[in-house]
Structure 1
C-alpha cells in the first residue's frame, strides 16, 4: 500500500510539471551559403542566408557610411552594434520558398510571400573580419567572416539568446 501511495504521488508530480514553451527554432543550424547585397545610395547592406528546405532566413541588415562590400577596411575588422531600428539581425520563417536576391536586394520585395514567424535582434554585436587567404602581385583574396555576439532575438512571446553565432563567411578579391 505504501508503494502504491508513492507511485500516485510520482505520477501526479510528473503530470503537473511543465517545461513551458519549447522553442524549436535553431538559428545556428543554417547550412546555406552567405549572400549579400547593398543599396549604395542609402548606405544600407544585407548579409543573408536562406534555408529553402524549411523556408527560413537569417539576415543582418545595417547602415554604414564607412563600410563597402568589395573593399577591405584598414584594420581588417568592422563592428556593428545591433539595435531594433537600423542595424538588425532578423530570423524569419516563410509560408513558401523565397528567392533571396529578389527578397532582400530589391527595393520592392516580391508579393505573395507570407512571414509566419519573425524574430528581431534587441541587442548584440556583429563583427565582420577579413583574413588574407592568398596574395599575389595582382590581387589579394580575403575570407570575410561574420560573427554575432551576445545577441537576443525577440518576437511574439519568444526570446532566443545566443552568446556566439557564426553567420557565415564568403570571399572577396581585391585587385592591386
Structure 2
C-alpha cells in the first residue's frame, strides 16, 4: 500500500479537535500504488479502496490512452497539465461497504452513495511514460552489452541493424537465441552458454555452431523454412552436426517479435481539496492492458 498523508487544518475538525494556535493534525489514507484509466473523450485516472470506501480521481479532458504511448526517440513521453474546472482532482468517500464500478459507465450505478466529494480545480498534473523494449530471448538486456560501453544500441553481433537486446536471433543464424541455451542453468550467468564446437564463441553468438564451415542458417537440407533446427539428417539437427556440411543457402530471415512495455506514472502537485492539501502526491503507476504490446521486424535478407 502507498500511504498518503493529508494535512487537515484544525478549524475544519473543531468537533473532534479543539486548538487555538492554528496547529495542524495528520490524517492517514491508504491507497494502492497503482491506478487505472478509462475514457474516450478525455481520460479519468482513478484509484479506489474499501474499509473505508474512498476514491481519488483525476480528469484530463484533452487526453486519450494513445497519447500516452506517443513516446519520442528517447522512448519517453512527458505531459504537464493544469487542474481547472474541466481538469479536476476529486477525493470522495462513500457509505457503501463494497464499491461497485464507479467510473466510465454510460449509466452511473444507482448503488453508489457519495458521502463526501472534495474537488481541486487548481494544481498541476505531471504524467510520464517510459517505453521498455525487449526481445524476450532469455537474456537480461544489461547482459547484452557485448562491448561493455554501457550503450546497448551499438551491440549488433550479426549486423542486421537490430541491436542484440532487441534481436531474438543475435547471431542471425535463424535459430532463436532462446533456443541456443545462452544460460543453461538459468542463473543469469552466461559463462555456461552452450558452445557446440568449443571455439570459445557461444552458440547464440556463433553463426556456424558446429564449426563445419557452413553457416548454420544455410544448413536447411530437408525443409527451407528459415528454421535449421528441424533439418535432421543423422540423429541431431544438421547445424549441430559437423558430419553434415551440405549447404542450402537461406533465402530469408526469421521474423522478430519485440516486446513493448509502457510504464506510465502520474504525480499531482500544489492541489487543494478544501481541507486537504499536499505539495506533491505520487498517484502511482497505471495498470492497463494497452500498455503491453509488441512490434514485429524482419531483417533485410541482404544485410
- Please state which band the TM-score falls in when normalised by the shorter chain: 0.7 to 0.9
- 2 CA distance for matches of 1:31 and 1:48? 11
Shift of 1:114: 1.6
Q: How high is the TM-score relative to the length of structure 2? A: 0.44
The correspondence of residues 37-48 of structure 1 with structure 2, limited to 5 A, is: 37-38=38-39, 40=40, 43-48=41-46
Tell me the equivalent position of 1:126.
Answer: 125
SS at match of 2:102: helix
Aligned positions of 1:104-143 closer than 5 A: 104-136=103-135, 137-143=257-263
Identify the residue that residue 102 of structure 2 maps to in structure 1.
103
Whether 1:175 aligns to 2:294 is yes
User: CA 1:69 to 1:17, structure 2 compared with 1: closer, same or farther past 3 Å?
Assistant: closer
Match of residue 165 from structure 1: 281
Q: How far is 1:82 from its partner?
A: 0.5
Does residue 64 of structure 2 align to residue 68 of structure 1? yes
Cross-structure match for 2:228: none
Aligned to 1:12: none
1:76-119 Cα distance to aligned partner (Å, 9 max, x none)? 11222111x210110000010322xx320102210132211111
Other structure's SS at 1:34 match: strand
Query: Per residue, is there more strand in 1 or in 2?
Result: 1
Secondary structure of the 1:123 match is coil
1:112-131 CA distance string (max 9 Å, x none): 32211111013111111012
Query: Which range moves more in the overlay, 166-175 or 115-124?
Result: 166-175
- Separation in 2 of the partners of 1:57 and 1:24? 19
Residues 82, 121 of structure 1: 8 Å contact kept? yes
Distance in 2 between residues matched to 1:55 and 1:32, nearest whole Å: 16
Give the superposition deviation at 1:17.
4.8
8 Å Cα contact 1:55/1:93 also seen in 2: yes
Quick check: 2:58–2:88 contact (8 Å CA) kept in 1?
yes
Q: Sort the Cα spacing of 1:140 and 1:17 in 2 relative to 1 into closer, same or farther, 3 A.
A: closer
Listed as ranges, the gaps of 5+ residues in structure 1 are 1-15
**Cα pair distance change 1:162/1:104, threshold 3 Å:** same
Per the normalisation by structure 1, the TM-score is 0.72
Structure 2's unaligned 5+ residue stretches are: 1-17, 136-256, 296-303
Counterpart of 2:271 (choices 144, 151, 170) is: 151
CA distance in 1, matches of 2:45, 2:259: 24
- In structure 2, distance between residues paired with 1:17 and 1:135: 57
In 2, the alpha carbon distance for the partners of 1:114 and 1:20 equals 33
What do residues 41-82 of structure 1 show as CA deviations (whole Å, max 9, x unaligned)? xx2211111011210000111211xx3314513351122211
Aligned length: 148
Give the structure 2 partner of residue 92 of structure 1.
92
